[in-house]
Amino acid sequence: MIRFSVVIPAYNRSVWLVEALESVFAQTVLPFEIIVADDGSTDDTLAVLEKYAGRVKALTQRNAGPAAARNLGINAATGDYIAFLDSDDLWFPHTLALYRDVIERHARPAMIEGTHVEFDTEQGPPKADALRHSSTVLQPAPDYLASPRVTLWPSGTAIRTDVLKAAGGFTPHAFNAEDCDLWMRLGVERGFVHIAQPPVFAYRRHPASAVSSLAKSVKGIMAMIECERRGGYPGGSARKRERLRVLTTHTRPLSVACARRGLLREAWGIYAATFAWNLRLLRLRYLVALPCLVLLGLVGGARETRVL
């Protein structure tokens, strides 16, 4: 029997937190424990959690960001696997049952990760019944670095507890990409399975989403670049190409987004730091296109200055 510890970081989203919790209670396979790590909320989150006393283990800390909140939950978890759910996202009733089936079929892999569907508050999440009746499609790999899957979302991820605690959890900084950094640090742990169908969670689109901040994302990605440079990720020289494939899959779209939004220094900084990596991977189209975008931004800025 697989025991799941569910870890939910929460910060000033009490209404959405209730919806997230109810989606956990609706699981056809119930979790061993549910841990909500409150990151210093100033709304009525604590009052909401009091209503779930006995069903939810509530932990609190001073505001330190989602990585530190997740780590608070990780340290308290006692199940075999830790499954994450952000407080603004939702699981489908089949999520933990699907995780359990995958774990049993694939000899307790280190990581399981599933796809998602998006929704906004006005639209509401899709109906779970239609999703679950689709055929199950799995993409197993020896480990994360060997998988073609690069982008993982915390709300769709379950990690074996011993592996996660041995890695030290998330890097507790106050910017983005702490999850991408963790996946890289777990990159050679044995067993990775991507659930391509059905979706395992619903991602809520809203302006306050952590990934909406480009500046924080740049800081996070630059920290990952530096970690790779100093040999901080596992696998050594034998797995370097795979690590670079994963890293540049994150860096390329971020630098393009920065260039298009006028953050030219940030775009060029990412480009320069990863130039040799992209050349090694023969990402020639990117190597030509990004400087053109930056140049267009510089020319547009100069014209705007002359007009003013």
Considering the chain, what percentage of its residues have pLDDT values greater than 70? 93
pLDDT at 213: 81
CA–CA distance, 73 with 59 (Å, rounded to integer) = 8
Residue 124: pLDDT band with limits 50, 70, 90: confident
pLDDT at 128: 67
Number of domains in the chain: 2
Residue 125: pLDDT band with limits 50, 70, 90: confident
Q: Write out pLDDT tens, residues 209-265.
A: 545 588 889 999 999 999 999 999 999 999 999 999 999 999 999 999 999 999 999
Residue 130: pLDDT band with limits 50, 70, 90: low
Residue 198 in this model has a pLDDT that exceeds 70: yes
Question: Do 158 and 113 fall into the same domain?
Answer: yes
Strand order in the sheet with 192-197: 57-60, 33-38, 4-10, 81-84, 157-160, 111-114, 192-197, 137-141
Question: Do 45 and 184 fall into the same domain?
Answer: yes
Instruction: State which of 184, 208, 232 marks the end of a domain.
Output: 208
Question: How far from chain centre, in Å, is Cα 180?
Answer: 6
Question: Do 12 and 153 fall into the same domain?
Answer: yes
Question: Do 60 and 201 fall into the same domain?
Answer: yes
Q: Write out pLDDT tens, residues 38-76.
A: 999 999 999 999 999 999 999 999 999 999 999 999 999
Question: Do 40 and 177 fall into the same domain?
Answer: yes
Question: Do 25 and 133 fall into the same domain?
Answer: yes
pLDDT at 132: 60
Instruction: State which of 208, 225, 250 marks the end of a domain.
Output: 208
Question: Do 51 and 135 fall into the same domain?
Answer: yes
Q: Are strands 81-84 and 4-10 parallel, antiparallel or unpaired?
A: parallel
Nearest CA-CA partner of 294 in 262, 246, 270, 272: 262
The domain containing residue 291 runs over which residues?
213-307
Question: Do 135 and 160 fall into the same domain?
Answer: yes
The enclosing domain of 134 has a CATH number of 3.90.550.10
Q: What angle do CA 51, 10, 200 make, to 5 degrees?
A: 95
pLDDT at 207: 65
Instruction: State which of 208, 223, 255 marks the end of a domain.
Output: 208
pTM of the model: 0.92
Report the chain's mean pLDDT, rounded to a whole number.
Answer: 93
Question: Do 171 and 234 fall into the same domain?
Answer: no
Question: Do 281 and 169 fall into the same domain?
Answer: no
Residues in the chain: 308
Torsion of CA 141, 145, 147, 152, to 10 degrees: 110
Question: Do 196 and 71 fall into the same domain?
Answer: yes
Question: Do 66 and 102 fall into the same domain?
Answer: yes
Residue 302 in this model has a pLDDT that exceeds 90: no
Residue 304 in this model has a pLDDT that exceeds 60: no
| 3-class SS of residue 36 | strand
CA–CA distance, 247 with 183 (Å, rounded to integer) = 11
